[in-house]
Amino acid sequence: MSYCLNPNCAKPDNPDDVDVCQACGSKLLLNDQYKAIKVLGRGGFGTTYLAIDTKLPGNPTCVIKQLRPAATAPHILAMARELFLREATTLGKVGNHPQLPRLLGYFENGDEFYLVQEYVEGLTLQQEVKRFGPKSEEEVKQVLQEVLPILDYLHKNSVIHRDIKPANLIRRDIDKRLVLIDFGAVKDKVTQAMVENAPELSTFTSFAVGTPMYAPPEQMAMRPVYASDIYALGVTCVYLLTGKSPKEIERDPRTGEWHWKRHVKTISPEFAALLDKMLEDAVKNRYQSAMDVLVDLQLLTSQPASAVAAPSISAVSPADDDLSSALAAPPSQGRPRTPKTTQRASYASSVSQNAQAARIRQSRMTGSQLGGPPVVGTGPGQHLRAKVTPRMTATQVLTAYKRGERDFVDVDLSNVVLRNADLSGANFANANFTNADLKGCILANAVLREANFQGANLSDANFCGAYLVQANFEKANLRGAKFLDASISGANFTDADICGADFSIVSGMVQGQLDKTKKNWFTKLPK
């Protein structure tokens, strides 16, 4: 079947063997290449179609997004055209990410604009919840592990998605990886400019601010920032945990605080504090970057969470750790309320406090306290326990990563061969890569805190955006490796070969950190 792209066509369905619409006479093949076969969705900005590419072998499926401004005034069309082309360029740039749909083409046909993108087949997170019910805390953490590196990539390319929600995150059937779809940036920018010049275009205003209840206050006021996407992702997590739409969750009208925890059976206080910080109404109190959230999340997931019944988040046994009192949630309604400023300060510091608490718990099991001497138990039943370091093969790592797993904390991967493997966004904190062969490996946006790469082959590896604090690269081969936007605070590069490596834009670097390395004229150092 062929579907007519003319939005005014009375009978858009056509037989497969015709070239023009039998009802309105419109040409059915877009740009002489793409044939729409059915409608996927409609909105105030236009229509999305499922289509096939008639010029490629096998006629692969794709998505046609039709942007059709409601008004036809010349200045509005000119503005729409300019912003449409600018946004198509942006989508072409960010579409190189494996978890973003690729831009296949863009066209203008009269007063209509078209984007053609890769079709991603699978269930959205909204469909998963409706079909299988709310997700567990661990499942939601896994969603964050996958989505946060995508947001970090977008933000580093100066793109704000503006419409993060469960319906726009689809689990791709072919590899079960989450893909972020439906970029609203085109219609957002067009709408924002159009509304300022043409207030009568009220049908576009909802698209200028994203989806109500998922968008934070500053985005509703048409002043989105990168942290706006973090807020929307926090609301998405609440939906995944509760199965309830945001309008079903009570909020304090004075503070904007979400009362979501009462709708969850069990939730750890640490993870609840992290989500609450993502959901802060005030931008200054919210996480400022996706990597900030990811780093705190990795600290939480490096140790098993202490789940408690919700909504009594503060009901944690003092025996759990010495800092549990700092993780208490704000009082529920009906009790004396702590001043909002005190609550914000508590929430802003709770995740970092929890990270320290987790390390204290770990010290009791491993015999080391925050990098100091071993802790020897003195009470009844207390004793030193050896730290268990699981050994994994290259096949096991790649299989687990393909399944969607990202947590490889403390694993032993010494001497492993993982050439050219894509392990972006994975958590290898404290992992042992001694003498491993990781030539050309993609570890972009990975967490590699205190990982040991001593003697490893890392030539041409991609560490862009990676968290490499206290990592050990002693005597490693880093020829041609890329460290753009990586955090290398405290990392050891003694006797490493960094010929041709790119350190031009890194954070946390101190004077002399790369002095004891082998360099050449092609090594790029910070200016």
CA 301 to the chain's CA centroid: 16
CB of 103 closer than 8 Å to CB of 88: yes
CB of 390 closer than 8 Å to CB of 407: no
Say what the alpha-carbon torsion angle 392, 396, 398, 399 is, to the nearest 10 degrees: -150
Q: Is residue 163 among the annotated active site residues?
A: yes
CB of 166 closer than 8 Å to CB of 236: yes
Point out which residues pair with 105 in neighbouring strands.
116
DSSP structural state of residue 289: S
DSSP letter string over 40-65? EEEETTEEEEEEEETTSTT--EEEEE
**Sequence letter at residue 359:** R
Q: What's the half-sphere exposure (Cβ side, CA atoms, 13 Å) at 474?
A: 9
Point out which residues pair with 172 in neighbouring strands.
122
As a whole number of angstroms, the distance between CA 278 and CA 267 comes to 16
As a whole number of angstroms, the distance between CA 262 and CA 281 comes to 19
As a whole number of angstroms, the distance between CA 13 and CA 24 comes to 11
As a whole number of angstroms, the distance between CA 424 and CA 305 comes to 24
Contacts of 126 (CB under 8 A, 6+ apart): 165, 166, 167, 239
Per the structure block, which two tokens stand in for 14? 């056509």
**Cis peptide bond upstream of 12, omega within 30:** no
Per the listing, tokens 């009362």 go with 259
Crossing angle, helix 74-94 and helix 185-197, to 10 degrees?
160
Question: What is the C-alpha R_g of the chain?
Answer: 26
Please pick, among 53, 152, 163, 502, the residue that the annotation labels catalytic.
163
**Sequence letter at residue 458:** L
Longest dimension (CA), the chain: 87
As a whole number of angstroms, the distance between CA 525 and CA 288 comes to 27
Closest CA to 407 of 486, 482, 320, 300: 300
Q: Which helix (H) or strand (E) holds 123?
A: strand 122-124
CB of 6 closer than 8 Å to CB of 21: yes
Residue 66 backbone dihedrals phi, psi, to 5 degrees:
-100, 115
CB of 147 closer than 8 Å to CB of 214: no
* Positions marked active-site: 163
